[in-house]
Structure 1
């Protein structure tokens, strides 16, 4: 069997994001996707209808079902839904030493709230420090930073604040300035900007895809910085077929 990547995320019924997107990316990179479902959402391509978070006991049962797997190559975390799910996943990770990429999903592209405010606080305090890399977009970074990011200076200040608070490498993605898109990576040794052209189309599930590509790169034994470069390269190649 191929090396496994554990995906802990919610299901988007439109098929454009969430678990469906994660499984597609992980499989395309030669890994076997092991899945833990956190929530179900009802969405179309453009509209959010509702969501349901799984029970804590059901989540624990799913995690327990994978306890016999000695070592996943990496873990990718997406939508968690509420604080009880966040705490349970954090507890699961505390018992394993494994590369983890967290996409801190707060709101869907279609406008539905996917994590409670209490859950977001728990995520920042309890879960992010247990991960290897997290990938907030500008809106998510603004939320955790406590003020709106309006400039490249704000991006770097937000990254510094969040890194000092969590001691966890991060990639703030999607700051748009003068028809270009800037991503900012920071860890204890590096600060680096990445620049991409602004696309005319905006496909759904890009955050899910990028974090999954990053998890795959870490799953191949790369350093955090190497994984960010490789994951972004794979993501840009994937995006070229979606635009």
Structure 2
């Protein structure tokens, strides 16, 4: 029997600027030593400055993509990004539950430039997730509370957990202060992840990269807390490598690989 590596699947939108979406996911998977498969939920027309158009795929096309991959690969974990519409969300989540797939969901509700990326009741995407990784804006929408303090984050994490997620990682990078504080809630207690903030305009795809990195480490056999710690270290390095680069005229992408040809 030949050697193998963990196989993970990303279900998300396509970003032609390659900063976010399945493109960021695949770069993360490759950098962290897992084999990535893709199912595209929507084609986006975007660059580093704006999301101009979103074109969701049909449910039939979505099903065909999923069916052919599940028929061929043993998929250890699934990362979900932009689902675009309530119909795509409902179909995707029901499909994964039927397959007993463990999935991590980055609830992409709007772009970093502020464009809405999901139509429907956002709460319905929470139930059944092994892990959900909302930022402050997304958590505010899901929990229906205003978040301005660590205590607010803790309350929101509990409310989102009660909607049916097994674990909630609430990302606090947009809170005021010089520290980025993320909170993990598993229904029993909190784990805190604290790091220095990086001043950089190149932040396109940070959420995609973090959730894909967590997925990668889980697939490699790490527990959830260690996976999050290692994923945050990977994200930090990817942001540091991109600092000062001028790629595009807006929020630039990250650099996911250690050795970039000169």
What range describes the TM-score normalised by the shorter chain of this pair? over 0.9
Name the SS for the 1:166 alignment partner.
coil
Contact 2:7 2:73 (8 Å CA) reproduced: no
Equivalent position of 2:116 in the other structure: 113
Deviation at 1:81, TM superposition (A): 0.3
Q: Does 1:180 align with 2:179?
A: yes
- Shift of the alpha carbon at 1:168? 1.9
CA contact (8 A) 1:101 1:131 kept: yes
- Which of 147, 164, 170 aligns to 1:149? It is 147
Q: For residues 152-198 of structure 1, what are the alpha-carbon distances to aligned partners after superposition, in whole Å with 9 as ceiling and x for unaligned?
A: 11001101111122242011112423222111111133302211222
CA contact (8 A) 1:93 1:130 kept: no
C-alpha separation between the residues in 1 aligned to 2:150 and 2:42?
Answer: 34
- Corresponding position: 1:204 with 2:207: no
- 1:131–1:165 Cα change, 3 Å: closer
Q: Which runs of 4+ in 1 moved over 3 A?
A: none
Within 5 A, what are the aligned runs for 1:75-114?
75-114=78-117
Aligned to 1:23: 26
| CA distance in 1: counterparts of 2:123 and 2:232, whole angstroms | 28
TM-score (norm 2): 0.86
Residue 39 in structure 1 maps to residue 42 in structure 2: yes
Conservation of the 8 A alpha-carbon contact between 2:123 and 2:163:
no
Query: What SS is found at the alignment partner of 1:236?
Result: helix
Do structure 1's residue 8 and structure 2's residue 6 form an aligned pair? no
Aligned to 1:221: 221
How far apart in 2 are the matches of 1:190 and 1:223?
16
Q: Report the CA distance shift for 1:167/1:108 in structure 2 as closer, same or farther (over 3 A).
A: closer
Specify the alignment match of 1:235 in structure 2: 235
Q: Does the CA-based 8 Å contact 1:133-1:224 persist in structure 2?
A: no
Number of residue-to-residue matches in the alignment: 238
**Per-residue deviation, 1:214:** 0.3
Structure whose residues are more often helix by fraction: 1
Gaps of 5+ in 1: none
Q: Give distance in 2, aligned partners of 1:57 and 1:36.
A: 12
Q: Which one of the candidate residues 147, 169, 172 is aligned to 1:171?
A: 169
**Counterpart contact for 1:99–1:218, Cα < 8 Å:** no
- In the aligned structure 1, how far is the partner of 2:94 from the partner of 2:139? 24
8 Å Cα contact 2:132-2:165 kept in structure 1: no
Give the TM-score normalised by the residue count of structure 1: 0.92
Q: Is the 8 A contact 1:9 1:77 kept in 2?
A: yes
Structure 2 unpaired stretches of 5+? 244-262
Answer whether contact 2:9 2:39 (CA < 8 A) is retained.
yes
CA contact (8 A) 1:169 1:187 kept: yes
